[in-house]
Amino acid sequence: MDAQKVQVRFGGLGGQGLVTLGAVLAEAAARSGMRVAASQQYGSRARGGATRADVILAREEIDFPHIHRADVLLVLAQEAYELYLPSVTEAGLVLADPFFVKLAERGGRKQLLVPATATAIEKVGKQVAANFVLLGALLGYTELVPDEAVRAAIAKLVNPRFQAINLEACSLGAGLGRALAEEVGPWR
Amino acid sequence: MDADRVQIMMGNQAAAAGALAAGCTFYAGYPITPSSEIMEILAAELPERGGVFIQMEDEIASISAVIGASWAGARAMTATSGPGLSLMMEGVGYAAMTETPCVIVDVQRAGPATGQATRIGAGDILQARFGSHGDYCPIALSPWSVQEMYDLTARAFDLAERFRVPVFVLADEGVGHLRESLELHGEIEIARRRRDPSAPPFGTDSPDGVPPMPAFGDGARLMVTGSTHDEWGYRRVDHPEVHARLVERLNRKVLDHTAEIARWDERLCDDASLVVLAYGFTARSALAAVKQLRAEGVRAGLLRLETLWPFPEDAVTALSGRVDALLVPEMNRGQVALLARACARCPVHGLSQTDGEVIEPERIAERAREVLA
């Protein structure tokens, strides 16, 4: 990671596993020597309702641990896309799942489609693994944190019953992310 | 990163870890957002370590069970949020009157009443101090990071045992649900109760003293009552001098030791003309705001209160004598600003936000610019 600070926001609906993604990314980044702060906002419902999980990755101590503007937005729901797109910086990156999100042409942000849900259904056999396909795509595209740190974070934080499918989802996502980098050029 | 000592945790997880490191052996509680993770973790961990976990029918029963367990010799705690804290107030007064060590972690959310369960607030500051009737003096600590959720929960046990009082960890949803790295300390040294069955358990010769506290089962004849009692625990409900002496000592045993209890942190204050006085999660915004103002050439500083009760008046008075203005950003209608105004030597400006959202650094910086203009 070259920048001093990268602010990542995951947006979707309650139940899609965004808070888990935030925790995994934070754990992985800390394991690779970065300062991290992760937070989330959700409603009282266990499922549904716009939800976000935010992670700050930094080289230096983090004073204010919440995100003001996001450098990267990953979205799994139209409602969340519309709600959180304005928080993305003008030079920011958006990775959206076309199964749920229709991109609008707004600003100079780099907005890319990652078929996370389709991949989860067709290749993993579990739609619930879509979140980890999306995380994998982020890491494959941006190389924010090394693969082994992500694997260690999944091993620590994910229920052992679901580790194998999430590792598979993450690695399929990383492939999609690397392909995107070749297709549209690297991040930054 | 040292995988054992340095870990990423959520603030509520860190509070549970801090309690265990401090030797907590008993938890009774009723789950409530945004504090429930503390209960969930201790429900799994305490029985594994020979401790006791009980889910009670409500918060009044929870604090009552904690008080009973403490008298049986346990290091006892509960955790809750505003609505639960309101219910616990009867027990808090009883714990103060019976000089029962106990720890209450309050992860504050937006109130009043049920308010917004998943959103941040800091409306319980004055309730923690004055929520029960009569004159007593609890201790309250205010963590601003995941590290302090761990450290201050452990310190709460130490202070509770040392002074025989209820101690609040006045956290908020911001630190409770924040994930960041912290350093763990293994086992933490906590004050041990003096257990002297031959000495009176409710009085000392010193008007600010803390008497020894035997446990049920130690062999002493022991009476514990919330009514006015003499030093041996006998009810003396019609003796003015006994009541006056007891109430005096209940307060002075804490207030006379404010210098030992109260902690605060001054940053960039040496040449400051405006100091932001903040606590809890809002102090994180305040620190970012102060750095932003410094970058603009504004001489701003931060006074961050780690202890809210007893209120560190001397620190506020001393610092306010050296600056032009204090600015107190709070997620309530000015509870600490009210306290600061009573002891500050300079004008105290408030910045209140009660919408269930965090106060952003820019909002604090903007208010500071207004104050200085």
Instruction: State the nearest Cα–Cα gap between B358 and chain A, in angstroms.
Output: 9
Of B117, B178, B360, which is closest to A39 when you measure between CB atoms?
Answer: B178
Asked if residue B301 and residue B157 are part of one domain, the reply reads no
Does residue B117 belong to the interface with chain A, where contact is any CB pair within 8 Å? Answer: yes
Could you tell me which residues come within 8 angstroms of residue A90 by beta carbon, excluding any fewer than 6 positions away? A107, A108, A109
d(CA B204, CA A95): 68
**B246 found inside a domain:** no
Q: Total domain count for chain A?
A: 1
CATH number, domain containing residue B347: 3.40.50.920
Question: What does the block give as tokens for B304?
Answer: 């961050």
Note whether B361 contacts A43, CB cutoff 8 Å. no
Of B117, B287, B358, which is closest to A66 when you measure between CB atoms?
Answer: B358
Asked if residue B112 and residue B20 are part of one domain, the reply reads yes
**B336 found inside a domain:** yes
**B282 found inside a domain:** yes
CA triple A12-A158-B179, angle to 5 deg: 65
CB atoms within 10 A of CB B251: 17
CB contacts, 8 Å: A38 with chain B: 8, 178-180
d(CA B244, CA B237): 11
Instruction: State the nearest Cα–Cα gap between A65 and chain B, in angstroms.
Output: 7
Q: pTM of the full predicted structure?
A: 0.95
d(CA A44, CA B188): 36
Question: What does the block give as tokens for B180?
Answer: 């960041």
CB contacts, 8 Å: B361 with chain A: 63-64, 68
Mutate: best of A27, A39, A55, partner B, most B CBs <10 A: A39
In which domain, by residue range, is B362 found? 265-372
Asked if residue B287 and residue B159 are part of one domain, the reply reads no
CA-CA-CA-CA torsion sign (A15, A21, A23, A24): positive
CATH number, domain containing residue A68: 3.40.920.10
pLDDT in tens, chain A (188 residues): 557 899 999 999 999 999 999 999 999 999 999 999 999 988 777 677 889 999 999 999 999 999 989 999 999 999 999 999 999 999 999 999 999 999 997 778 999 999 999 999 999 999 999 999 999 999 999 999 999 999 999 999 999 999 999 999 999 999 999 999 999 998 88
How high is the pLDDT of residue A106?
A: 74
Mutate: best of A64, A68, A150, partner B, most B CBs <10 A: A64
Buried b (16+ CB within 10 A) or exposed e, B109-140: bbbeeebbbbbbbbbbbebbbebbeeebbbbb
Tell me which residues of chain B have a pLDDT lower than 70.
Answer: 1-4
**B269 found inside a domain:** yes
**B40 found inside a domain:** yes
Express each pLDDT in B79-96 by its tens digit.
Answer: 999 999 999 999 999 999
Buried b (16+ CB within 10 A) or exposed e, A160-179: eebeebbbbbbbbbbebbbe
Q: Write out the H or E segment, with its range, that includes residue B325.
A: strand B325-330
Does residue A44 belong to the interface with chain B, where contact is any CB pair within 8 Å? Answer: yes
CB contacts, 8 Å: A41 with chain B: 118
CB contacts, 8 Å: A66 with chain B: 174, 358, 360
CATH number, domain containing residue B136: 3.40.50.970
How high is the pLDDT of residue B1?
A: 45
Asked if residue B54 and residue B153 are part of one domain, the reply reads yes
Note whether A63 contacts B358, CB cutoff 8 Å. no
Asked if residue B281 and residue B163 are part of one domain, the reply reads no
Residues 52-111 of A with CB under 8 A from B: 62-66, 68
Q: Total domain count for chain B?
A: 2
Instruction: State the nearest Cα–Cα gap between B312 and chain A, in angstroms.
Output: 24
Of B33, B179, B361, which is closest to A26 when you measure between CB atoms?
Answer: B179
Of A33, A64, A66, which is closest to B1 when you measure between CB atoms?
Answer: A33
In which domain, by residue range, is A66 found? 5-184
Does residue B354 belong to the interface with chain A, where contact is any CB pair within 8 Å? Answer: no
Asked if residue B153 and residue B21 are part of one domain, the reply reads yes
**B32 found inside a domain:** yes
Express each pLDDT in B6-46 by its tens digit.
Answer: 899 999 999 999 999 999 999 999 999 999 999 999 999 99
CB contacts, 8 Å: B179 with chain A: 22-23, 26, 36-39
State which of B166, B183, B200 marks the end of a domain. B183
Could you tell me which residues come within 8 angstroms of residue A166 by beta carbon, excluding any fewer than 6 positions away? A129, A132, A154, A158
For B34, name the nearest residue in chain A, comparing CA atoms only. Answer: A44
3-state secondary structure at position A5 = strand
Size of interface A-B (CB pairs under 8 A): 57
Asked if residue B273 and residue B157 are part of one domain, the reply reads no
Of B8, B33, B177, which is closest to A27 when you measure between CB atoms?
Answer: B8
Instruction: State the nearest Cα–Cα gap between B360 and chain A, in angstroms.
Output: 8
CB contacts, 8 Å: A63 with chain B: 284, 287-288, 291, 361
How high is the pLDDT of residue B16?
A: 98
CA triple B276-B278-B283, angle to 5 deg: 105
State which of B160, B183, B206 marks the end of a domain. B183
Q: With contact defined as beta carbons under 8 Å apart, do A159 and A119 qualify?
A: no
d(CA B363, CA B43): 40
d(CA A76, CA A12): 5
Q: Which residue has the tokens 């069970």?
A: B65
